[in-house]
Structure formats: structure tokens, C-alpha cells
């Protein structure tokens, strides 16, 4: 699976909602997170059965126990990678927190839509768990 190659220093909120929580592990800007049962923000993974829902995309780096601000659903984010305008992007599974195009999802992955590219740099973040698992 080929995840987007994100340059963390180029991840910027264009518009939309954000929220600050506490990182439950090391997180880098541009990585996808979910809130675990302890209320901490940890990396999301398309083959993690404990994933309730995608919570946001990290807007900066944070270590375990540090504050972490994330873009929430409805945000537009300069994601720090080259996108294909109009293409849909999904949560990856080869490495936790990654973003991939549909063609790069793997067997047994949950299909979790993250959003669509509205330009070659901006992702319209509108996460949705389709509840489909690829066979």
C-alpha cells in the first residue's frame, strides 16, 4: 500500500473546525488519529478493530501526554503532499495514521473515507466509516 508522502512542516489548516486533546502516543502532523477508550488521541489504522471513528488529522507533532490539535470533520487542510484533484482518500493500514487512495487499500482493510482532494494540495476532510471490510 502506498501512503501519501506527507511533509509535516507543510500541513496547514485552511479552514474549518479544530479541537485540542491529549496525544496517547507520538503523532506527526498530517497523521490520522482516533480517540481511544482512555480519551487519548492515537494513530488510526484501517485494520484496527478497536477503532470507533476517525477523530481528526494532526496539525502538528506531539509526544505521548502532550496537547495535540487536530482538524475535525468539515475542515479543509493543506495536507503537505501532492494530491490528485477530485480523488477520494482513505485511512491506510500498512502504517497507522496514513492516508491512501482507494486503489491502495488492502485485503481485510476497513474502508474509511477521509475526504476528497479539492486541489493538488488541499484535502476536504469529511471522514465516514463505510463499515465495509475488503475481502
- The per-residue pLDDT for range 55-90, each reduced to its tens digit, is 999 999 999 999 999 999 999 999 999 999 999 999
Predicted local confidence at residue 1, as pLDDT: 53
Domains of the chain: 8-133 (2.40.300)
Judged by DSSP in three states, 7 sits in coil
Kindly report the average pLDDT of the chain as a whole number: 93
Which pLDDT band, with edges at 50, 70 and 90, does 24 fall under?
A: very high
Q: Is the pLDDT of residue 108 over 90?
A: no
Predicted local confidence at residue 66, as pLDDT: 98
Read out DSSP for 33-94?
EEE-TTS-EEE--TT-TT-----EEESS-B-TTSEEEEEPTT-EEE-SS---TT-EEEE-SS
- What pTM was estimated for this model as a whole? 0.94
Kind of pairing, strands 41-43 and 122-133?
unpaired
Amino acid at each position: 500500500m502506498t501512503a501519501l508522502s506527507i511533509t509535516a512542516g507543510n500541513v496547514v489548516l485552511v479552514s474549518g473546525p479544530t479541537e485540542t486533546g491529549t496525544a496517547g502516543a507520538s503523532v506527526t502532523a498530517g497523521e490520522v488519529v482516533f480517540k481511544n477508550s482512555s480519551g487519548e488521541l492515537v494513530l488510526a489504522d484501517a485494520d484496527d478493530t478497536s477503532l470507533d471513528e476517525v477523530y481528526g488529522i494532526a496539525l502538528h507533532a506531539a509526544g505521548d501526554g502532550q496537547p495535540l490539535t487536530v482538524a475535525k470533520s468539515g475542515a479543509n487542510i493543506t495536507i503537505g503532499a501532492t494530491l490528485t484533484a477530485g480523488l477520494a482518500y482513505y485511512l491506510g493500514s500498512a502504517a497507522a495514521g496514513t492516508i491512501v487512495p482507494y486503489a491502495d487499500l488492502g485485503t481485510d482493510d476497513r474502508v474509511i473515507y477521509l475526504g476528497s482532494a479539492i486541489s493538488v494540495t488541499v484535502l476536504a476532510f469529511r471522514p465516514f466509516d463505510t463499515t465495509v471490510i475488503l475481502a
